[in-house]
Amino acid sequence: MAAEQPGKHPHEDDTALLIAALNHTMAWHETRIDRGLQVINYFVVAGAVLVTAYASALGGKHYGIAVAIALSGMALAILAFIVGRQQRRAAAEAEPALAELQGRVASKLQVDSFRIYKPEVRGQREGAAAITFALAVLLSAGSAIYAAIHSR
């Protein structure tokens, strides 16, 4: 009988290790998704503040300030898109492992309904996000142009 090496576990038979790996992968994925949602929440709140400030600047005929606010809205949209995309891509790194680990746990436990996770179609969601943020950038650019025209 051969002695087992310390620290070596047969991964097919170690349910606790499998569950720990699944929990780690799930935590990684959820953390990245949560951070992406926090970026979106920040973008919405900051955007609302900027829209209010822009409207106030226009109402007070402070067109130079309105241009600066609109340009900061462009920067905000670009930054939010970049950071949100990075978080989504970081979450996507865990998706293959998550699907595999859930499948292995489901097989081990003989509970087919445990195969909950199915990788999403990323291209469609990334395309929708890119279009949404591109529209926000265009709206900000249009607002800056409008204020610049009226400042003359």
The closest of 70, 76, 44 to 57, measured between CA atoms, is 70
Four-point Cα dihedral 24, 25, 27, 32, nearest 10: 140
Q: What is the Cα–Cα distance from 141 to 126, expressed in whole angstroms?
A: 22
Which tens digits make up the pLDDT trace of 10-22? 555 677 888 888 8
For 126-143, the pLDDT digits (tens) are 788 889 899 999 999 999
pLDDT in tens, the chain (152 residues): 445 555 565 555 677 888 888 888 889 889 998 999 999 999 999 999 999 999 999 999 999 999 999 999 999 999 999 999 999 888 888 888 888 888 887 787 777 777 776 666 556 667 888 898 999 999 999 999 999 998 87
Q: Are 57 and 69 in contact (CB under 8 A)?
A: yes
Which residues fall within 8 angstroms of residue 35, CB to CB, at 6 or more apart?
87
User: Residue 16 in contact with residue 71, Cβ under 8 Å?
Assistant: no
